[in-house]
Amino acid sequence: MKLDELYALLRRRGVLWPTAEIYGGAQGLYDYGPLGAALKRRLERAWATWFVGRSPDYYLIEPSEIVPEAVVRASGHLENFTDPEITCEACKSAFRAETVLEKVRPNGIDGLAPSQIEEVVRTHQVHCPNCGSSALAVPEAFNLMFDVPFGVARTERAYLLPETAQASYLAFSRMWEVGRKALPLGVAVVGRAYRNEIAPRQVLFRMRTFTQAELQIFFDPAAPPGRLGPLAAEKVPVLRAERRERGEGSTERVPAADLVAGGLPEFYVEHLVHMLRFLRDVLGYPSERIRFFEKSAQERAFYNRLQFDAEVHLESLGGYKEVAAVHYRGDYDLRRHSEGSGKDLSISRGGPERLVPHVLELTFGVDRNLWALADVHLVRDGERAVWKLPPYLAPVSIGVFPLITKEHRPFAEQLARELLAAGVEAEYDEASSIGKRYARMDEAGTPFCATVDGLTVGAGPEQGTVTLRHRDSRAQERVPSAELAGRLSASLRHPWPPPA
């Protein structure tokens, strides 16, 4: 679906809407309604199972999203977490430089200093998108963090975290004590991050507060986590930085082993494959719509040695969009926090030798993927809209309907209660025709519906059976109601990750 159609449907169904909608909304802020909130919880759980569930030495924590200034000074965000902007001296508008220069610099402006951006503006004779004036200026970079100074005099400087990762670095030494005192050690956070975006846009893709799911794997580079093993032949869709620089913009499907042979570390490639499998096998994005976009040394974030962004091609947003990434951050973070805090974060390797652990970061945008799950799986099928979510992600697992409310309600209500007690997310619905109830469940992504009718409550051979209807095939079958929970359990079960 196109953006407008998809967004309208998601709003109407209460999946999401702009924050403070009755006040005209607020740019870059969204609320999740009941379906959206339930889908988000399931998506977060799927992520945690797949990534954190790989190893008993990987832990999920829940840190504060506010940190004192010393933390973001040490991390480099106070200095470097900026977004170049372009202002118009005629109409006083301000824009993200990247947006204004999108057409003349399709690969973005990552790594360019304000003076270099100014040169791009002059060279390409760029005009103000608002008033058309050529009086454009490129001021000093604008820091994207929100500061929330504490205290009566607001003198204790503190910041909303721009990435959850920092909280995991802060927790490293405590987690080292709490855990087995062995590497690799994983510390994961599913939490909020905050950015004062100059120009929020594309719905859930550039928000001012958003949810990240990030796993930081601390490891010894002499014994990095991840061996390809049987995954060596898995084809990874990559767009290498070098090829892009030569002007070749197409994605290659390269066997994982060849990426290693070509110079990428094996542990890194193994995690590209693990991410690929999550996007493809768990979230159900079609293979041909996924690619790993390598950022060059100039383009990547200041802390990264290697950075491949996982992108998905989204019809609603007209192209490939970043939904996750695999970052090799080296020992940058723990080294900086050792210096900043004065606490030695190195660990003993046995003997006098000490090591500042390296970090492999798996980052995942929860909101962006929620949108991608709608873009990819919410489709028109003739008159109806069907959200073909993988069953274990669907907010409601089964709709339970009485065919005739008065006669079949007690049985249907009881069945819904029993399914809930058995851990199956069942929703009872008696409003309007069965056809309309199917349509509502289709839009909500509900994979199954069970209808209670005269045969169910009658004394014949089909007593106690219900009509089980499958969302995608629209197939219907007769199933004893007592067998429902068991019948559904396999498809409602989330795929289990291979061990790390």
Q: How far, in Å, CA of 111 to CA of 40, rounded? A: 33
Q: Is 28 in the site for a copy of itself (CB under 8 A)?
A: yes
Nearer to a copy of itself, 355 or 420 (CB): 420
Q: Which residue, 374, 419, 380, is CA-closest to 393? A: 374
- List the x/- string, 376-415, binding to a copy of itself by CB under 8 A: ----------------------------------------
Name the minimum Å distance from CB 31 to a copy of itself: 4
Q: Is 66 in the site for a copy of itself (CB under 8 A)?
A: yes
| Residue 257 touching a copy of itself (CB under 8 A) | no
Asked if residue 31 binds a copy of itself (CB under 8 A), the reply is: yes
User: Which region, judged by CB under 8 A, interacts with a copy of itself, from 177-185, 314-322, 457-465, 467-475?
Assistant: 177-185
Cβ pair 333, 165 in contact under 8 A: yes
Q: How many CB atoms lie within 10 A of CB 74?
A: 20
Smaller CB distance to a copy of itself: residue 349 or 493? Answer: 493
Site string for a copy of itself, 76-115 (x = CB under 8 A): ---------x-x------x---------------------
13 binds a copy of itself, rule: CB under 8 A: yes
Pairing between strand 448-452 and 398-402? parallel
Across 274-346, the runs of DSSP E, i.e. the strands, are: 290-294, 306-314, 319-330
Q: Alpha helix (H) ranges present in 161-301?
A: 165-178, 241-245, 256-261, 266-277
Site for a copy of itself (CB under 8 A): which residue of 3, 61, 301, 439? Answer: 61
Q: List the x/- string, 418-437, binding to a copy of itself by CB under 8 A.
A: ---x-x---xx--x------
List the end-to-end C-alpha distance of the chain, in Å, as a whole number: 37
182 touches a copy of itself (CB under 8 A): no
CA dist., res. 161 & res. 418, Å (int) = 43
Closer residue to a copy of itself (CB): 92 or 474? 92
Binding part of the chain for a copy of itself, among 7-15, 280-288, 297-305, 466-474 by CB under 8 A, reads 7-15
Contact call for residues 54 and 102 (beta carbons, < 8 A) = no
Q: Which of residues 33-52 bind a copy of itself (CB under 8 A)?
A: 33-34, 36-38, 40
Specify the DSSP element, H or E, that contains 339.
helix 332-341
* Residue 9 sits in the site that holds a copy of itself (CB under 8 A): no
Please give the structure tokens belonging to residue 155.
């003198």
Per CB under 8 A, does 208 bind a copy of itself?
yes
CB 379 within 8 A of CB 386: yes
Q: What is the Cα–Cα distance from 53 to 20, expressed in whole angstroms?
A: 37
Judged by CB under 8 A, the residue of 118, 142, 407, 434 near a copy of itself is 142
Say if CB 345 and CB 216 are below 8 A apart: no
